[in-house]
Amino acid sequence: MIRPILLASWLLSACAAPALAQSCPPAGAAAELRTPLPRFAAAVASGGPIEVLAVGLGNMRSGGMEGPFANAFHEALQRGLPGREVRVTVVPTPGMLAKDAADRVRRGVAEGEPALVVWRTGLADALAVTDPARFRRIVQRAAAWISAQNADLVLVDLAYTGAGAHEPTYRRYVDALAQVGREGEAAVFRRYAITEAWARAGVAPGQMAESEACLAQILADAILRQAAP
């Protein structure tokens, strides 16, 4: 009965109202993006409004606008850029494979002309066990296209929710995204590494909404550090 009870408590926490990121556990070096974001930095330096496209960044899976991640991310970016107009357009990709989500990314970029795209992907492909090499190529291709549109890309990888039997499968998609990052056309926000470190240290926020809000805050801070002059 332990597993159903754990699952039920997780679901209840998922339905809870988004918590404020008051006492987030430290993320350490795993939070660093390692790749510069020159277009976003230029948009910050320009003094005009800053357009950000957030793809697949609703709550953990549904991709809704009211998700704790999207809201907390927008608020954190706005807090970091006081007096500036930060516009975050959310493009939901609920349960969509990267190959399908890539179409929505392209459309969102073509129509919104953002300086920064944040794209959370990989979970649907991991569950569908698509070929990781093909997944990497699809994301790489989209990254090259986004770069050609004069926008920076931050990829957000999967979540770690406990050492299950399928972690090696999830890790293949985390590694595929890391590989895209190493190729230089996208930064990668290592959500899996951060949440795994939290879980191992026993400091993970108890509620899913709180964890998402913390991750959004950490991501926004990391992006702002890359844009700092």
Residues within the interface to another protein (CB under 8 A): 3-4, 6-7, 10-11, 14-15, 58-66, 90-97, 100, 103-104, 106-107, 110-111, 123-124, 126-131, 134, 137, 141, 144-145, 148-149, 158-159, 161-162, 164-166, 169-170
Query: At which residue do the structure tokens 């679901």 appear?
Result: 11
Distance CA 10, CA 46 (A): 43
Q: How far is the CB of 219 from another protein (least distance, A)?
A: 19
103 versus 183: smaller Cβ distance to another protein: 103
CB 17 within 8 Å of CB 79: no
Q: How far is the CB of 93 from another protein (least distance, A)?
A: 8
CB 81 within 8 Å of CB 50: yes
Residue 165 is encoded by which pair of tokens?
């039997």
Q: Whose CA is closest to 52, among 105, 124, 102?
A: 105
Q: How far is the CB of 204 from another protein (least distance, A)?
A: 13
Distance CA 6, CA 1 (A): 9
Q: How far is the CB of 169 from another protein (least distance, A)?
A: 7
120 versus 154: smaller Cβ distance to another protein: 120
CB 135 within 8 Å of CB 102: no
6 versus 201: smaller Cβ distance to another protein: 6
Q: Whose CA is closest to 52, among 109, 103, 102?
A: 109
20 versus 144: smaller Cβ distance to another protein: 144
Q: What are phi and psi of 91, to 5 degrees?
A: -115, 105
Q: How far is the CB of 31 from another protein (least distance, A)?
A: 22
Query: Which secondary structure element, helix H or strand E, spans residue 166, and what is its range?
Result: none
15 versus 203: smaller Cβ distance to another protein: 15
68 versus 181: smaller Cβ distance to another protein: 68
Q: How far is the CB of 29 from another protein (least distance, A)?
A: 25
